[in-house]
Amino acid sequence: MNHVSKIGIMGGTFDPIHYGHLVSAEGARDEVGLDQVIFVPTGRPPHKSNYNITNSQDRYLMTVLATASNHYFHASSMEVDRPGFSYTIDTVQSVVEMYPGAQIYFITGADAVLDILTWKSVEQLLSLCYIIAVTRPSYQLDKLWDRLGHILHCPKRRIISMEVPALAISSTDIRRRVREGMTIKYLLPEPVEDYIAKHKLYKQ
Ligand code: NAP
């Protein structure tokens, strides 16, 4: 029997990428048996026009540094390079074209998945890939199923949840720590920590 390849797409703003993201991707890879995980930092998020996010090149380069040591991980600049807003449907369609016949798993934070009904071409998206919603400890999963189970005619089985204790780490907290002069050691890979210091990110 032919092996059907399973490709994970790890989507996020990654501002900055941290161990919670890496542990989530590795956990999903192990649990689902993914052949590889492609980390795709968002270029221009459609839902964050008022939020001052870090330059996409910096976020992409930090993602490259963070994923370099894992044989199964790759970083892609496809959203960073694509003009206009970054829509997940476009990313998933590109990966489907790159890997015909593969099963695609889009991995991201459960809070982002909560809003999936507002995403572009959501029904088509759910027909092309599985969604892995990773949650922080003590996340109330009912929230997710209440919202997605009723409103959408989407079979629940295409959305999988996965609790990741390491997601107690958050990008928001890391940005705050840098701003307040606190240590971020052991919250993210050292090369990313060095990149943040060298480029004076998150100082204000
Ligand atoms: P977000 O609002 O910045 O994050 C929501 C929550 O999820 C945060 O707590 C965040 O924690 C966590 N999170 C985000 N990405 C994660 C990941 N890969 N693994 C674990 N936790 C994660 O969400 P976002 O980063 O902007 O969007 C997430 C993904 O959804 C992106 O790929 C984005 O392009 C996609 N999206 C698509 C559309 C659309 O197609 N219309 C709309 C919205 C979002 P941290 O801050 O610690 O990461």
189-199 mean pLDDT: 98
User: Do the domain assignments include residue 103?
Assistant: yes
pTM: 0.95
Is 86 part of a structural domain of the chain? Answer: yes
pLDDT exceeds cutoff 60 at 85: yes
Per-residue pLDDT, 150: 57
Take atom 36 of ligand 1 and give the residue whose Cα is closest. 88
Q: From CA 184, how far away is CA 1, in angstroms rounded?
A: 47
Per the domain annotation, does 1 fall within a domain? no
In a domain, 34, yes or no: yes
Q: Which domain holds residue 153?
A: 6-198
pLDDT in tens, 168-181: 999 999 999 999 99
Residue 203 lies inside a defined structural domain of this protein: no
- For the chain, give percent helix, strand, coil, nearest 5: 45, 15, 40
CA–CA distance, 20 with 166 (Å, rounded to integer) = 5
State both tokens at 182: 């606190």
pLDDT on residue 157: 65
| CA 3–ligand 1 middle distance (angstroms) | 30
pLDDT of residue 194: 98
Of 34 and 147, more confident = 34
Q: What CATH number is associated with residue 194?
A: 3.40.50.620
171 pocket-lining for ligand 1 (C-beta < 6 Å): yes
Write phi, then psi, for 110 (nearest 5 degrees): -60, -35
99 by Cβ neighbours in 10 Å (0-12 / 13-18 / 19+) ranks as: middle
- Domains in the chain, number: 1
Residue bearing the bigger pLDDT, 35 or 144: 35
Q: Answer yes or no: is the C-beta of 135 below 6 A from any ligand 1 atom.
A: no
Residue 69 lies in a domain: yes
Continuous segment of H or E residues that includes residue 30? helix 19-32
Domain for residue 204, yes or no? no
Residue 159 gets the label, from left (phi > 0), alpha (psi -120 to 50) or beta, of: beta
Read off the pLDDT band of 152 (50, 70, 90): low
Going by alpha carbons, the residue nearest to atom 32 of ligand 1 is 11
Question: Quick check: is 32 in a domain?
Answer: yes
Residue nearest atom 22 in ligand 1 by C-alpha distance: 109
Q: What tens digit of pLDDT does each residue of 94-107 get?
A: 999 999 999 999 99
